[in-house]
Amino acid sequence: MLQHIFKLIWKKKRSNFLMMLEIFVSFLILFAVWSLSVYTYRNYATPAGLSTERVWTVFLNYNTDQDSVLRINNELVTRHVQSIREIKSFSFAANNLPFSFSSSNRELEFKGKKVLSEIMLVGEDYPAVLGMSLSAGQWFSAADTVGGRRPVVITRHLARDLLGAEEPIGQQISLDGDEKRTVVGVVDYFRHKSSFQEDDNCFFEPAGSADYNLLLQVGTGANAEFEAQLAHSLQQLNPDWTIEIQHLDQMKDTQNQLVLIPILILFVVCGFLVFNVGLGLFGVLFQNISRRKGEIGIRRAVGATKMQVMGYFIGETLVIASFGIGLGFFFAIQIPLLHVLDVEASIYVWGILLAVLSIYLITIGCAFYPSRQAAAIYPATALHEE
């Protein structure tokens, strides 16, 4: 039967080639969409390593560059925030706060190996504010800086990327060729850009006097009224300051939307293209089967059942689809083999498998109704029309 199908496909190679081309293009589109979907879902399912619940961000601008003034202002803000019972914990941090539009990447070096990492200058209570937990070592404190020591905490991803199999605690790493930093702790995850950010390198070290944004962990009773009072009380410390308060969960939602909206638009466009291909495939199959009533009549006359006729035409369509899939597979597999993008090969494998499954389902769906109509034709009627 399979040999007979190949002969019929070859005899109508021109029309079948157009079907194969449509399936080939659809396969590539579905491969891209499914690969992106698997990549996005895998990132979303990865633990974030931080909590945004009841965390507020206070953007402080002292409107001065003098270190001595900055230090005094930080102490003034610290005493004021400590006196507010609704604030459970707080930490100063640099401008690249979680889910902000700011980033700071620097080059780290260890035994001649260099990698790029996000550098976050933060305070001692930073993990308490964000609900972070360490998998090894401890968070740095003022005692760790005695004698000019530069303690740092790194993510597990950075430890693997930079240190390899070395035990991270106690290792000395340098920042842009500067003096050494000592690793005192490791966190498993810290995905601070969006819920769809891949696990990446991140590096924490104590904040200096110039790093004056605030992260606050507030109690359950903190509401809009308390937020207004907090902003007013901070402004009263110095009328020349610029103060803005934002909620970290809202900042996270904004970043997620910036990632999701382009993806959703891509899905809609690709879905529209695949739908049109499916309609075209349905029309071609319906027309081809309508022209083969004589063949159908002969098959029914020699004893073929309705299910056999349906199975034959669906099988023929699946063979044509397999040629298009095979061509698409050849091009798709080149991406992980040539390492075109810095993405795990397993994501592309899932993309290929899901694209193959989708093409076969679309093909069966498009071929089912025309094949059913063909199977319902009576032999006498088909031969009489011929």
Q: Give the start-end residues of each E strand in the chain.
A: 55-61, 87-93, 105-110, 113-122, 134-137, 151-155, 172-175, 180-187, 202-206, 213-218, 242-247
CA nearest to 304, candidates 293, 314, 292, 312: 312
- 68 or 131, which is more confident? 131
Q: At what angle do helices 293-301 and 306-332 cross, to 10 degrees?
A: 130
Quick check: 176 pLDDT over 80? no
pLDDT tens-digit readout, 57-84: 999 888 877 777 888 888 888 899 999 8
Task: Supply the mean pLDDT for the chain.
Answer: 84
Give the mean model confidence (pLDDT) for residues 11-30.
77
| Residue 128 pLDDT level (bands cut at 50, 70, 90) | very high
Q: Are 291 and 11 in contact (CB under 8 A)?
A: no
Q: What is the pLDDT of residue 349?
A: 92
| Residue 152 pLDDT level (bands cut at 50, 70, 90) | very high
Q: What is the pLDDT of residue 248?
A: 93
Quick check: 350 pLDDT over 90? yes
Amino acid at site 179: E
**How many C-beta neighbours within 10 Å does residue 272 have?**
10
Q: What is the pLDDT of residue 375?
A: 65
Amino acid at site 93: A
Q: What is the pLDDT of residue 293?
A: 61
Per this entry, what is the length of the chain? 386
Q: Which residue has the tokens 């290929």?
A: 352
Quick check: 281 pLDDT over 90? no
Give the mean model confidence (pLDDT) for residues 185-191.
93
CA nearest to 380, candidates 288, 301, 311: 301
